[in-house]
Amino acid sequence: MLMHLPVLVVLAPLLAAPVVALTRGAIWPWLLSTLVSWFSLLCAVLLLIQVQQQGLVIYTMGGWEAPWGIEYRIDFANALLLVLITGLASVVMPYARLSVEQEVGAERSPMFYAALLLLSLGLSGMAATGDAFNVFVFLEISSLATYTLIAMGRDRRALTASFSYLVMGTIGGTFYLIGIGLLYVMTGTLNMADLAERLPAISDSSTVRTGFAFIVTGICLKLALFPLHLWLPNAYTYSPSAVTALLGATATKVAIYILIRFVFTVFGPEFSFGAEPLAEVLIPLAVIGLLSASTVSIGQPNIKRMLAYSSVAQIGYIVLGIAMGTAMGLTAALLHMFNHGLMKGALFMTLGAVAYRMGGTNLSDMQGLAKTMPLTFWAFVIGGLSLIGVPLTVGFVSKWHLILAAVELGWWPIVIAILVGSMLAVVYVGRVVEAGFFGEAKDPTRREAPASLLIPIWVLIFANIYFGIDTRLTVDIAEAAAAQLMAGGSVR
Amino acid sequence: MTANTALILALLTPLLGALMIGLTGRWPNLRETVTIITAVSLFALVIRVLLGLNAGEDIGFELFTVMSGVGIAFNTEPLSILFAMIASGLWIVTSVYAFGYMRSTNEINQTRFYVCFAIALFGAMGVAFSANLLTLFIFYEVLTLSTYPLVTHKGDAKAKAGGRTYLGILMTTSIVFLLPAIIWVYSVAGTLDFTPGGILEGNLAAGSATLLLMLFLFGVAKAAVMPVHKWLPAAMVAPTPVSALLHAVAVVKAGVFTLIKVVIYIFGTDYLAEVPYESIAVYLAGFTVVAASCVAIRQTNIKRLLAYSTISQLSYIVMATMALAPFSEIGAAIHIASHAFGKITLFFTAGAIYVASKKTEITQLNGIGWRMPYTMVAFAIGALSMIGVPPTAGFVSKWFIIAGAFQLDNYFVLVVLVISTALNAAYFLPIIFNAFFKPEDVKLKEHGEAPPSMVIALCFTASLTLLFFFFNGPVLDLETQLVGGMP
């Protein structure tokens, strides 16, 4: 079984999804999805251990060698990402039961969980595969699942949110597909490793350069880089709480991984940063994005939307790390990819608990939370501190590495931008904390959220602190991944 | 128990105390007993560490490595043990004082108050015993965050506004200036360990070091060098025990302590002396000394006056540290102690006056000396120490700072000291005079002294202020090790 790990991560939810869709009631689909997601997590963790031993795990689908068959290539970067995706799914699934019962309804539960499984399968597939077209297939699977899930939100505005994401997401997917098509015309292969081998010889051709532009733009739409982020705030705000948690923590991260994979592995840093002006394009966008989105989030009355804008800002940090084009910057980007997943997952789940008890996630619903729902409130405080980047949380670890990378390059204005972004985070997190701490609760009789919501939340909060203190695991893997990516080591 | 075990326990005790205080919150008497036991055992443990340090024991441990060359690690040296002793020792006195204060004023959320207090002490111990800049930074932030609920304790609009300024300035400066400074040091030196002689020599061009020094000077806003001092007056909305221990001793001293550590163990005084325009730091601190005193003269609220006096006194320490003469480094270290005794006494008296008479303004204090003789005599002793008159603690440190100024022929420092002494006298002496020799004209209520636990506490710290003048030998011996023996 161990040799099949790369495919098992993806296969388990794929097989389970139709079964879940056929079940009845609210309990069975939930139970089945939870068990499957735990199984996937187990596979992902074992896979990570395997990668740590071997450095690279190659799996040929059905025994067909590439380029005839599809191959899965797992190195440090996507092994870490797989742990993040399956880990978050494993926490969100048990959390979802009560929240979904209330927000989506028992009769739609089977469809909901099937879609949620398809989403996590699509994301894992994108991360695991070593085939550029296969990425597109999984991208579409996850996107379609996402449109469905967003549309299941309680608020009728969820429908327009879903529709506008559908339009934007399709444009992004199409751009990506056009890019892949152009590369296929030039190289005759869709396997990433082969692409990486053949591209340098023809990198001068305008077709390849056009393909590069299409691919990067398409992915940047999916990862919601400023100014292509307009779909994100509505999508996050109106989807059911459990969906927002999973989406916010993993979906954009996978797109970021695909960007990294193409920029560093397929095209190679020499092409991306030398021949193409990638850094010159991405850095201003990332900086403007992180500053403007942080500023906008300060004024949001709906806290879910506030965190959505904060996500746009955090993506700015990650893209900044990528755009530095150095091993240090890439390490920071990978670290923040993982760490941001942990903090945003925790924060969105906390808001889900607030919505469950208070019926909404506006600032007015957060008033006096410290008294009525202390455990939920303190989870939000710790998650918020992590978002700011206070020491002993994961946010500090990634921010430290990002600043270190910028200092190493001597990019002082960038250092200042990162720090100003953190200060803005102090303001928008502080606003909520102040309301919760000093505000008068609308209804002081509301009680703490039930344990089945609190336990998953605190598992993630604990992870936020644990990986903020014991950084060996994450930093070592991120460094190893960055080294592999910089050397193109996983493909050559 | 080895000194190393004592060090570990000294870090754990306040944290454990916080937990126990939280659990016993329902029974106020038990809760306060736990507070006292925690404070006393912490002080005993710190004394054990001191004995170990004097005996030359090997003290220090690393909890875990965060990244190559940096971990969460602790050790001790003369300066850190001094800071730890002052903070933990005065915590005992402050706790006794706080019981009286908090009960007399019927404060809400007293359990939260004592829990946060213990966590703040945990932060202070961590700052004191940190073996590198990263560890120090972490506990510096613990100290900021744990004192926020204390500053906003009352929970009204004024407290919230004060809390916002407090957290805003301390967090902003630490993230925007201090953090990049630390990362910069790490990126050039590859380590953040406090090393005698510094770690920057040969790693960083002297020209860039000027900028780095400024980042540290303003990043450590707890040292309250102007213009990053505004948080300190804002913090005065806190209950008086908080102002007394945290905003006259633990928090602000953590700031100047950090700066001294950075100057001696990160830059190294020899290297810093070669840094161009290093004297800017001296001028900035000197300006703060004088400017804060001028602002203090215009204050009418007792606690705000004391806050500006603290800003001025803190900059004495910063100025002496940046002057880089061996004597002035010693003077800076000793001023941490002497200012602590004097200022905590002054805050204690301010709180006692408030509890007994509900008076908060200086203009209301006429004739109060006869109603509250112990309190006002203690106030006089504290004030004399601020001015630097013998036989008080303030004189000892001022002596060394002046000696340092002569060592380098630094007349700027000398002039600042003279002006500041005059200004200090100008705003403290009239209060003492009016309290005893003017007839009482504002009467809010009939009153005598504050509750006994408060009077005992403030008399104790006032006597410490006097005793330090006569028995400062051990502290002096300890701190001369900072500059490698008596110069």
CB-based contact, A475 to chain B, within 8 Å: yes
Summarize pLDDT for A343-357 with one digit per residue, the tens. Answer: 999 999 999 998 888
Between chains, do B164 and A430 touch, taking CB under 8 Å as contact?
A: yes
Closest chain A residue by Cα to residue B178: A419
Tell me, what's the pLDDT at B461?
92
> Cβ of A404 and B152 within 8 Å?
no
Mean pLDDT of chain A: 88
Q: How confident is the model at residue B27 (pLDDT cuts 50, 70, 90)?
A: confident
| Pairs from B392-395 (Cβ < 8 Å, separation ≥ 24) | B392/B338, B392/B342, B392/B465, B392/B466, B392/B468, B392/B469, B393/B337, B393/B338, B393/B339, B393/B341, B393/B342, B393/B464, B393/B465, B393/B466, B393/B468, B393/B469, B393/B472, B394/B338, B394/B339, B394/B342, B394/B465, B395/B469
Q: Look at residue B67 and give its three-state secondary structure.
A: strand
Neighbours of B51 (CB within 10 A): 12
Location of structure tokens 């602000």: B252
The closest alpha carbon to A162, from A151, A154, A173, belongs to A151
- Cβ-nearest to A434 among B65, B160, B187: B160
Contact A426 B168 (CB under 8 A): yes
Confirm or reject contact between B230 and chain A (CB < 8 A). Answer: no
Q: Which position has the higher pLDDT, B52 or B68? A: B52
> B148 vs B154, B163, B175, CA distance in Å?
12, 6, 17
Render pLDDT for B198-223 as a digit per residue (tens, 0 to 9). 888 888 887 888 889 999 999 999 99
- Kindly tell me the number of DSSP H helices and DSSP E strands found in chain A: 22, 2
* Tens digits of residue pLDDT in A179-229: 999 999 988 888 888 888 888 888 888 898 999 999 999 999 998 888 888
Beta carbons of B152 and A470 less than 8 Å apart: no
Closest C-alpha among A167, A203, A165, A161 to residue A186 = A203
> CB-based contact (8 Å) between A420 and chain B?
yes
Task: Indicate the residue of B67, B152, B160 with minimum beta-carbon distance to A471.
Answer: B67
* B66 and chain A in contact, CB less than 8 A: yes
Question: Is B175 in the A-facing interface, judged by CB distances under 8 Å?
Answer: yes
Cα B45 to Cα B5: distance, rounded to the nearest angstrom: 9
Nearest CA in chain B to A471: B66
Higher model confidence: residue A475 or residue A62?
A475
d(CA B29, CA A370): 26
Reported pTM:
0.86
- What is the model's pLDDT at position A367? 84
At A175 the pLDDT is 94
What is the rounded average pLDDT of the residues A64-68? 75
Nearest one of B207, B40, B12, B214 to B126, comparing CA atoms: B12
The closest of B207, B197, B355 to B275, measured between CA atoms, is: B207
- Asked if the model's pLDDT at residue A442 lies above 80, the reply is no
Given this model, what pLDDT does residue A42 score?
Answer: 92
- Structure confidence at residue A337 as a pLDDT band (50, 70, 90): very high
> Closest partner residue to A471 among B66, B149, B184, by Cβ?
B66
pLDDT value for B135: 92
- Distance CA(B350)–CA(B344), nearest Å, equals 10
Question: Is A489's pLDDT higher than 70?
Answer: no
CB contact under 8 Å between B180 and A419, yes or no, is: yes
CB pairs A-B closer than 8 Å: 61
The pLDDT tens digits for A3-42 are 888 888 888 989 998 898 888 877 888 899 999 999 999 9
pLDDT band at A255 (very low <50, low <70, confident <90, very high): very high
What is the pLDDT averaged over residues B247-267?
90
CB A453 within 8 A of CB A380: no
Chain A residue with minimum CA distance to B72? A469
Residues in Cβ contact with A237 at an 8 Å cutoff, skipping those fewer than 6 apart: A161, A244, A302, A304, A305, A308
A392 CB within 8 Å of a chain B CB: yes
Q: Which of B65, B72, B183 has its CB closest to that of A400?
A: B183
Whole-number Å distance between alpha carbons of A193 and A183: 13
- Whether A430 and B179 lie within 8 Å, measured CB to CB: no
DSSP assignment of B351-419 equals HHHHHHH---BGGGGTTHHHHSHHHHHHHHHHHHHHHT-TTSHHHHHHHHHHHHHHHTT-HHHHHHHHH
Higher-pLDDT residue of A470 and B83 is: B83
Cα dihedral A192→A133→A131→A489 (10° resolution): 30
Asked whether residue B450 carries a pLDDT value surpassing 90, the answer given is no
Q: How many CB atoms lie within 10 A of CB B441?
A: 10
CA distance B373 to B449: 8
Phi, psi values for residue B444, rounded to 5°: -90, -35
Does residue B25 belong to the interface with chain A, where contact is any CB pair within 8 Å? no
Of B137, B145, B172, the CB nearest to A423: B172
Task: Give Cβ neighbours of residue A425 (< 8 Å, ≥ 6 apart).
Answer: A294, A310, A313, A387, A388, A389
Handedness of CA B14, B19, B25, B29 (dihedral sign): negative
Q: Is the pLDDT of residue B487 over 70?
A: no
Question: Whole-angstrom Cα distance, residue A160 to residue A453?
Answer: 28
Average pLDDT over residues A394-398: 90
The answer to ipTM > 0.95 is no
Distance CA A105, CA A94 (A): 16
B64·A390 Cβ contact <8 A: no
* Domain segments of chain B as ranges: 1-275, 278-487
From CA A112, how far away is CA A107, in angstroms rounded?
10
Is A55 touching B (CB cutoff 8 A)? no
Q: Does B168 touch chain A (CB under 8 A)?
A: yes
Helices A76-103 and A27-54 cross at an angle (nearest 10°) of 170
What is the Cα–Cα distance from A310 to A324, expressed in whole angstroms? Answer: 22
Interface test with A, best of B187, B214, B218, B237 (most A CBs within 10 A): B187
Residue of B115, B146, B183 to mutate, testing the A interface (most A Cβ within 10 Å of its Cβ): B183
What is the structure's pLDDT at A259?
Answer: 92
Structural tokens at position A218: 């398409």
| Cross-strand partners of B251 | none
CB of A297 within 8 A of CB of A428?
yes
Predicted local distance difference test score (pLDDT) of residue A438: 82
Query: Looking at CA atoms only, how far is residue A472 from chain B in angstroms?
Result: 7
Which of A85-89, A335-339, B278-282 has the weakest average pLDDT?
A: B278-282
Amino acid at A309: Y
The pLDDT of B269-276, averaged and rounded, is 85
Gyration radius (Cα) of chain A, Å: 21
Distance from CA of B180 to the nearest CA of A (A): 7
The span from the CA of A187 to the CA of B331, in Å, is 74
The pLDDT of residue A490: 41
Q: What are B209's two structure tokens?
A: 């070091």
Quote the DSSP letter at residue A227: T
Contact B180 A403 (CB under 8 A): yes
* CA–CA min distance B28, chain A (Å): 21
B474 Cβ under 8 Å from any chain A Cβ: no
- In this complex, is the C-beta atom of B65 within 8 Å of any C-beta atom belonging to chain A? yes
Q: Is the pLDDT of residue A492 over 60?
A: no
Residues of B in contact with A382 (CB under 8 A): none
- Cα(A210)–Cα(A178) distance, integer angstroms: 9
What gap in Å lies between CA B408 and CA B269, rounded to an integer?
A: 13
CB < 8 Å to A371, chain B: none
Lowest model confidence (mean pLDDT) among A150-154, A304-308, A319-323: A150-154
What is the model's pLDDT at position A491?
A: 40
The reported pLDDT for the residue numbered B474 is: 81
B211 lies within 8 A of chain A by CB: no
pLDDT at A129 over 50: yes
Question: Of the candidates A423, A471, A472, which has its C-beta nearest B176's C-beta?
Answer: A423
Indicate the average pLDDT of chain B: 88
Rounded CA-CA distance B181/A114 in Å is 50
What the block records as the tokens of A147 is 């449109």
